[in-house]
Amino acid sequence: MAALLPRLRWPDVGFAIKPNAVWIEVGAGSFEHAEAMARANPTIGLIACEVFENGIASLLSRLAPGDADPASVDVPANLRVYPDDARALLRSLPDRALGQLFLMFPDPWPKARHAKRRFVHPEMIHDVARVMQSGAAWRIASDDPTYQHWVSAVFATQHDFIMTQQTTKRPDDWPATRYEAKAIRAGRQPYYWSFQRV
């Protein structure tokens, strides 16, 4: 199974299509959202970032179930895995490289002294804004009340994005994730936002 990763690892392996846009997912977990998005949008290239090896292993075992020979498995032409810190990838991109960014249920870091580690952060907003095309969407979901207030507060004090959606019902074209299901089972109410690069 691990033998499959070299066939998907960004940036060593480019897309097998010429994508008409590049999207990134930060913290893809078990890659349910990234895989569904890539399959539903075959003309875009999606780079899904995840630092947790077990999450990457979930994707690989879906692509190559059982004893499938990694060399003969069909990997999605437009999905690539960046098995490292998404912030490093974003900082390495040229200006206006991205057509969409997904941040589904980021680690909440609920203690105030850990706020610096939250992906949504005033400094990160500038880094993300630089690589987003004008009109590009940044989708965020969170079930954590501290993070939900934090998202509202951070976006209220910046001018690079406007909020185009905030809802407690997951929009139909947002694939479900494992973490979301866990949050709902535990009685937490997710919020879903879309922000647009101005």
Ligand X SMILES: C[S@@+](CC[C@H](N)C(=O)[O-])C[C@H]1O[C@@H](n2cnc3c(N)ncnc32)[C@H](O)[C@@H]1O
d(CA 79, CA 84): 16
Q: Least Å distance between CB 74 and ligand X?
A: 24
Amino acid at 72: S
Q: Least Å distance between CB 7 and ligand X?
A: 20
Does 107 qualify as catalytic in the annotation? Answer: yes
Tokens coding 131: 């690589």
Report the candidate in 50, 49, 55 with the shortest Cα–Cα distance to residue 98. 49
Which CB atom, from 87 or from 188, has the smaller least distance to ligand X? 87
Give CA separation, 111 vs 33, 89, 115, 120, 150, in Å.
27, 26, 7, 14, 12
8-state DSSP, 2: G
Report the candidate in 39, 188, 190 with the shortest Cα–Cα distance to residue 104. 190
Q: Least Å distance between CB 134 and ligand X?
A: 25
With H, G, I as helix, E, B as strand and everything else as coil, classify residue 27. coil
Listed in order, strand segments (DSSP E) in 105-153 are 132-142
Among residues 95, 107, 127, 173, the one annotated as catalytic is: 107
Which CB atom, from 143 or from 161, has the smaller least distance to ligand X? 143
Question: Would you tell me which residues interact with ligand X (CB under 6 A)?
Answer: 26-29, 49-52, 55, 85-87, 104-107, 177-180
Which CB atom, from 105 or from 192, has the smaller least distance to ligand X? 105
Which CB atom, from 96 or from 119, has the smaller least distance to ligand X? 119
Q: Least Å distance between CB 90 and ligand X?
A: 9
Positions annotated as catalytic residues are: 107
